[in-house]
Chain A
Amino acid sequence: MAFEIVAASRAEQAKTTPWRHALRTGLVLGGAAVFMAVVGILMMFQNRPIIVDTLTLGYATLGLTLFTAGLLVARRGLFGHRDPTIVGGVVAGALAAGLPALLAVVMSLVDLRGVFVALNAPLLAMLTFHQSPAWLGAAGLLVLGAALGGAGALFLQLPDRIRRPLAAGLIATGLAGMLQELIRPILANSRVTKPLHDLLYTWSGLTLRGAVIIFLVVAVGVLLWHLNRPRIEAALDHLDPQTRRHIRWAWWGAAALLAALFPVFAGNFIGQVLLVVGLFTLMGMGLNLEVGLAGLLDLGFVAFYAVSAYTTALLMADSPYALAQLSFWQAMPIAVFVSVIVGVMFGIPVLKIRGDYLAVATLALGEIVRVIVLSDAAAPLLAGANGILQIPRPEIGSFVLGTPVSLFYLTLAASLVAAYVAWRLGESRLGRAWMAIRDDEDVAEALGINLIQVKLLAYGLGAAFAGLAGSIFAVMLGSIYPHSFQLIISINILALIIVGGLGSLPGVAVGALVLIGLPEMLREFGEFRYLFYGLAIIAVMRLKPEGLWPSAARLRELELDAETVAVQQAQVAEQRS
């Protein structure tokens, strides 16, 4: 029955006339523009230049929305021919601009600030391009919308060799402007790249000259590549396989080397962000053993992280609570071992619990650690809410790993070791046993798999990864407090392995970059970054439900499901005819 309804709605969608689609697209994107204006995102973006004195992020976002209206209309290809498609794009763009234009007119007549605090004079000025009668500016916005919508529709009709360089140039220019705070210090720091910096940027951002240069260089580069590609590929084909393999290895080696050296040039802010991403990658790989391989949903993973961080602190800190004054290299293995023990103890009470109930039970166990540390009973030992301070940095010989960048390399090394271990475990007899209990616990047990043993190994080994991360976390901050170990960390780790692709190792790193790195980079947008964070999660789950870098098996699984749906739809259609 449900399938028939789905099939019916699909059929209706297919019947949509091109004009109805253009209208709907325009209205949806116009609504999005109005939403961004009302919640204040647009105005916040308006204060952020992309090209100094020429283009702000606010106008770029608005323009991109209008352009997208045209793109979406053309992408469905309902109009068939080129000219009507462009007309459709114009209509959709004008509609998308119409809603914010209407908002501007209303704002000029009525003061809406009592309802929405973001609907203020600067926003009105922005939407009307600083024109004095508001309706004149609003009309201008409408015309701009029509033009951009038409341009969006036209853009998709262009031949590849023109469209690709254009798109690449625009994207590169946009990125150069958006990420200027990241790029500028890197270029300005070295004497070699300083002239390049002066050519493209001023102290406040990308200059118009810089934007034109970047656009031209990238667009021409892509165009040349596009024109010469067949020849280059033919030349490559003539090489013997050995040389080709070498070239490929050289490429990958160079890329890996560049990526690994990037933090050195990028400085301490980026180093710090990548360090946190690395810690979450470590924990993600651990949780991946539990959730991705063994199917044991765990919302209390932060407990192992906390235990290890506190163990490290107690063994290293220059504080009255410390038990010893070990070096990091002595304390870290002990801390990892302690988290393994805690992991196993954590596993024992939940051995017989399955599925959703397991999630709730582990949630509670995860909170216990934080509550114990905060309690009065443990305060004489663990310092309660005051935390343990003055944890020294790790040292190699006389070199102190004091900066975020040097600690990042420590994390990178730990992650590489951990990734190797996780990969070997996944391929092993134990890994197969984990996947078996994930698919069907009863059957796995009936085949001779000792559930107690393999489940406790999953918890213990997963905890070891979190222990490694917790130990580095303690020396990174130099002081630890119970409030660093909130439930949100467990949830973040679970979210990042799902977004990255459950059961996939590279997926963990990609997920951590997107879900941990991105919000850190968006810090300047304050609380709005959580909005982007939420949007990013929804977008990934909607567009790529198998994750950003799925494991091979999971990918096949989802493909099959799509296939099943298609077969069922075909059957429904057959029954009807």
Chain B
Amino acid sequence: MSGAVLLKTEQMTKRFGGLIAVDQLELEVGQGAIHSIIGPNGAGKTTVFNCIMEFYPPDDGQIWFAGQRIDGLTPDRVAVAGINRTYQTIRLFRNLTAIENILVGMHIHLKSTWYGAVLNSRGVRDDEAHAHAEARHILDFVGLRGRGDVLARDLAYGEQRRLEVARALATRPRLLMLDEPMAGMNPRECTDMMSFIRRVRDEREVTILLIEHSMRVVMGISDRVTVLDHGVKIAEGKPAAIQADERVIEAYLGTTDKASKQWLTTQA
């Protein structure tokens, strides 16, 4: 893993009325890392994603991605810059088929124009053929071979989660942000998802920024962990160090007695 920083936020702040959802966050995500953000409910984790994706522009601070400043862009420009994400609650295009969902993800890499499509020009036909081939390839990669023509809404829950990853991967991102990808999965499925995330990082050379609740997953998969509480970063480091950090234990459990420490380690 190279030491280069891919994503960097400086003093990033987001307020909703009187509530400070993210408070002067300094975050550095290294190229090729699997970097997790954890914290209790309402800690502002998803807001961090929304700020990076520019769903809500941050009120203060700067966001740098691969040497380019991205705060103030629109989400579609952020996607072009090379960041994409999945959602805590699945947000597929429910009335489109799986393959169409992926094709929408490839939108920025396709060149066909609407008048080309009307004239059915050779360029458009080639473009579409390549797009379909690549979409099938991505579908295979996420393990949905043969499910391409099923409507997204008819897929099983786990399949929908993977399709969401596939759609994000179709934009060919350098940074993929996964918002609780294991929510609602049983331990077996979680294990599968963990190895899948590693495969995404290794085979497609995508840096991963992950929000996850399950300590077992976070500790098992992450290169680096950032802990948020009430929008403030309270700890950062390697998983083992985070597990022993008293502030983290207190944020999660409200006490630092021995039993709580025990609980946190058994979770891992």
- Report which A residues bind B (CB closer than 8 A): 420-421, 424-425, 427-433, 435-436, 438-440, 442-451, 457, 461, 553-554, 556-557, 560
Alpha-carbon gap, A457 to B74, bound state (A):
19
One of B97-105, B195-203, B214-222, B244-252 at the interface: B97-105
Alpha-carbon gap, A83 to B94, bound state (A):
51
- Check A432 against B96 for contact (C-beta < 8 Å): yes
- B207 CB within 8 Å of chain A: no
- Report which B residues bind A (CB closer than 8 A): 53, 55, 74-76, 78-80, 84-85, 87, 91, 93-96, 100, 103-105, 107-108, 110, 112-114, 117-118, 120, 124, 127-128, 131, 151, 153-154, 167-168, 170-171
- Check A435 against B171 for contact (C-beta < 8 Å): no
Which residue in B84, B91, B107 is a CB contact (below 8 Å) of A440?
Answer: B91
- Centre residue among B75, B91, B94 by max chain A CB count within 10 A: B75
Distance in Å: Cβ of A491 to nearest Cβ of chain B = 25
Residues A432 and B100 in contact in the complex (CB < 8 Å), given A447-B84, A560-B153: yes
Distance in Å: Cβ of B196 to nearest Cβ of chain A = 21
A-B contact pairs, 16 of them (CB 8 A): A421-B118, A424-B117, A425-B117, A429-B107, A430-B117, A435-B95, A435-B104, A439-B96, A440-B91, A443-B87, A446-B75, A446-B76, A447-B84, A449-B76, A449-B107, A556-B151
Alpha-carbon gap, A410 to B215, bound state (A):
69
- Check B96 against A436 for contact (C-beta < 8 Å): yes
- Check A442 against B114 for contact (C-beta < 8 Å): no
Distance in Å: Cβ of B83 to nearest Cβ of chain A = 9
Distance in Å: Cβ of B212 to nearest Cβ of chain A = 20
Residues A429 and B87 in contact in the complex (CB < 8 Å), given A446-B75, A447-B171, A556-B151: no
Alpha-carbon gap, A144 to B158, bound state (A):
63
A556 partner residues in chain B, CB cutoff 8 A: 151, 154
Alpha-carbon gap, A429 to B106, bound state (A):
9
Alpha-carbon gap, A452 to B152, bound state (A):
26
- Check A436 against B117 for contact (C-beta < 8 Å): no
- Closest residue of B by beta carbon distance from A433: B107
A449 partner residues in chain B, CB cutoff 8 A: 76, 104, 107
Which residue in A420, A429, A446 is a CB contact (below 8 Å) of B53?
Answer: A446
- Closest residue of B by beta carbon distance from A439: B93
Alpha-carbon gap, A567 to B160, bound state (A):
20
Alpha-carbon gap, A443 to B112, bound state (A):
21
- Check B79 against A446 for contact (C-beta < 8 Å): yes
A438 partner residues in chain B, CB cutoff 8 A: 95
Distance in Å: Cβ of A351 to nearest Cβ of chain B = 12
Distance in Å: Cβ of A447 to nearest Cβ of chain B = 5
Alpha-carbon gap, A449 to B110, bound state (A):
11
- Check A424 against B167 for contact (C-beta < 8 Å): no
Which residue in A428, A429, A442, A557 is a CB contact (below 8 Å) of B75?
Answer: A442
A560 partner residues in chain B, CB cutoff 8 A: 151, 153-154
Alpha-carbon gap, A448 to B171, bound state (A):
8
Query: Ordered nearest first, which 8 A-B pairs have the shortest CB separation?
Result: A428-B117, A448-B108, A448-B79, A439-B93, A430-B114, A436-B104, A445-B75, A446-B75
Beyond A424-B118, A448-B108: 11 further Cβ-contacts under 8 Å? A425-B118, A433-B104, A435-B95, A443-B91, A444-B104, A446-B53, A446-B85, A448-B79, A448-B107, A457-B114, A556-B154
Alpha-carbon gap, A66 to B113, bound state (A):
60
Residues A447 and B117 in contact in the complex (CB < 8 Å), given A435-B93, A560-B154: no
A442 partner residues in chain B, CB cutoff 8 A: 55, 75, 91
A448 partner residues in chain B, CB cutoff 8 A: 76, 79-80, 107-108, 171
- Check B93 against A446 for contact (C-beta < 8 Å): no
- Check A429 against B110 for contact (C-beta < 8 Å): yes
A461 partner residues in chain B, CB cutoff 8 A: 114
- Check B167 against A447 for contact (C-beta < 8 Å): yes
Alpha-carbon gap, A552 to B248, bound state (A):
52
A451 partner residues in chain B, CB cutoff 8 A: 76
Alpha-carbon gap, A438 to B91, bound state (A):
13
Alpha-carbon gap, A276 to B45, bound state (A):
57
- Check B114 against A428 for contact (C-beta < 8 Å): yes
B127 partner residues in chain A, CB cutoff 8 A: 429
B103 partner residues in chain A, CB cutoff 8 A: 429, 432
- Check A436 against B114 for contact (C-beta < 8 Å): no
B95 partner residues in chain A, CB cutoff 8 A: 435, 438-439, 553-554, 557
Alpha-carbon gap, A431 to B104, bound state (A):
10
Which residue in B78, B108, B112, B168 is a CB contact (below 8 Å) of A428?
Answer: B112
Distance in Å: Cβ of B111 to nearest Cβ of chain A = 9
Distance in Å: Cβ of B82 to nearest Cβ of chain A = 10
Alpha-carbon gap, A428 to B119, bound state (A):
11
A440 partner residues in chain B, CB cutoff 8 A: 91, 93
- Check A427 against B151 for contact (C-beta < 8 Å): no
- Closest residue of B by beta carbon distance from A563: B154
Distance in Å: Cβ of B36 to nearest Cβ of chain A = 21
B93 partner residues in chain A, CB cutoff 8 A: 435-436, 439-440, 443-444
Alpha-carbon gap, A560 to B95, bound state (A):
11
- Closest residue of B by beta carbon distance from A503: B95
B120 partner residues in chain A, CB cutoff 8 A: 424
- Closest residue of B by beta carbon distance from A440: B91
Distance in Å: Cβ of B86 to nearest Cβ of chain A = 10
- Check B79 against A447 for contact (C-beta < 8 Å): yes
Alpha-carbon gap, A440 to B55, bound state (A):
13
Distance in Å: Cβ of B65 to nearest Cβ of chain A = 14
Alpha-carbon gap, A445 to B153, bound state (A):
20
Distance in Å: Cβ of B134 to nearest Cβ of chain A = 13
Alpha-carbon gap, A450 to B74, bound state (A):
9
A450 partner residues in chain B, CB cutoff 8 A: 76
B96 partner residues in chain A, CB cutoff 8 A: 432, 435-436, 439, 553
- Check A446 against B104 for contact (C-beta < 8 Å): no
- Closest residue of B by beta carbon distance from A421: B118
Alpha-carbon gap, A424 to B74, bound state (A):
29
- Closest residue of A by beta carbon distance from B74: A445
Alpha-carbon gap, A544 to B66, bound state (A):
54
- Check B112 against A429 for contact (C-beta < 8 Å): yes
Distance in Å: Cβ of A430 to nearest Cβ of chain B = 4
Alpha-carbon gap, A218 to B262, bound state (A):
87
B117 partner residues in chain A, CB cutoff 8 A: 424-425, 427-431
Alpha-carbon gap, A438 to B93, bound state (A):
9
Alpha-carbon gap, A557 to B95, bound state (A):
7
Alpha-carbon gap, A448 to B118, bound state (A):
23
Alpha-carbon gap, A433 to B105, bound state (A):
9
Alpha-carbon gap, A313 to B86, bound state (A):
53
- Closest residue of A by beta carbon distance from B96: A435
Alpha-carbon gap, A448 to B94, bound state (A):
18
A554 partner residues in chain B, CB cutoff 8 A: 95
- Closest residue of A by beta carbon distance from B97: A553
- Centre residue among A440, A443, A446, A557 by max chain B CB count within 10 A: A446
B53 partner residues in chain A, CB cutoff 8 A: 446
- Centre residue among B76, B113, B120, B154 by max chain A CB count within 10 A: B76
- Check B105 against A447 for contact (C-beta < 8 Å): yes
